Amino acid sequence: MLAAECAWAILRAEHVRTRELLDCLREAMKAGGEASVRQRATSAIEIIERLRAFEENTHRPKGVVMLNILRGRSREADELLEQLDAESECCNGLISQATLLLERARSGDPDAAGQAGALLRQHRQFMSTHLDKEDTLLHSQTALLLTAEEWATVVSSISKEVGAARKREHRRLSVRG
C-alpha cells in the first residue's frame, strides 16, 4: 500500500528530526569550557522550545487521524495506544520539570542545572523508547488493521497538515522579512 508507505516515511522522518533535537539538547547540557551554567541553561531552554513546537505543531497533528482510526480496532492496539499516551504524558512532565529547573539555573542556581540534566537524560531515554515503539509496534498495528481507504484518509490529513505548516512558515518568514 503506497499510501501507508508514504505516511510512515513522513512520520519516521519526523522521528529522525525529534532525535536530532534530543541530540542537540544533550550537547547543550554537556557544553563545557567557555559556556557558563547560565549559557547552557539558556541554550537548553531554546532547544526545548523548538522540540515542543515541533512535536505539538508539526508531528502530533499528522498522527491524529491515524490514531483515531486505529482506536477500538483491537485490544492489543488499544493497549499500545494507552501505553504510548502514558509515555507522552510522562515525557511532557519530565520536560516541564526540567524547564523549570533550567529557568532556576539561568537565574544562577547551579544545583538546578544538575537536577535538570538528570531529568533530561530520563526524558531522552523515555522519548527514544517511545519513538522506537511507534516505528515498530504502532507501525505493525496500523499495517494489520487499517484498510487502503483508511490509509488514503490518513495521507490526505497529513497532506493538509503539511500545507498548513507551509503557510505558517511563509507567514512567519513574511513577518520577519
Condensed to tens digits (0 to 9), the pLDDT of residues 64-120 reads 999 999 999 999 999 999 999 999 999 999 999 999 999 999 998 879 999 999 999
Is residue 3 included in any domain, yes or no? no
Q: Tens digit of pLDDT for each residue in 127-143?
A: 999 999 999 999 999 99
Is residue 35 included in any domain, yes or no? yes
Is residue 54 included in any domain, yes or no? yes
Say what the pLDDT of residue 108 is.
85
Is residue 100 included in any domain, yes or no? yes
Q: Are 169 and 57 in contact (CB under 8 A)?
A: no
Is residue 63 included in any domain, yes or no? yes
Question: What SS3 class is residue 108?
Answer: coil
Say what the pLDDT of residue 24 is.
96
Task: Tell me the mean pLDDT in the region 26-50.
Answer: 88
What's the CA gap between 100 and 30, in Å, rounded?
Answer: 18
CATH number of the domain at 49, please: 1.20.120.520
Task: Tell me the mean pLDDT in the region 31-60.
Answer: 89
| Residue 125 lies in domain | 13-165
Q: Tens digit of pLDDT for each residue in 30-40?
A: 877 556 888 99
Is residue 2 included in any domain, yes or no? no
Scanning the structure block, which residue is given the C-alpha cell 547552557?
40
Average pLDDT, the chain: 92
Say what the pLDDT of residue 34 is.
53
Q: Are 29 and 117 in contact (CB under 8 A)?
A: yes
Is residue 171 included in any domain, yes or no? no
- In this model, does residue 170 exceed pLDDT 90? no
- Range from 23-27, 30-34, 51-55 carrying the lowest mean pLDDT: 30-34
Is residue 31 included in any domain, yes or no? yes
Q: How many domains does the chain have?
A: 1
- In this model, does residue 159 exceed pLDDT 60? yes
Helices marked H in the chain: 2-30, 37-53, 60-70, 75-106, 110-133, 139-145, 148-176
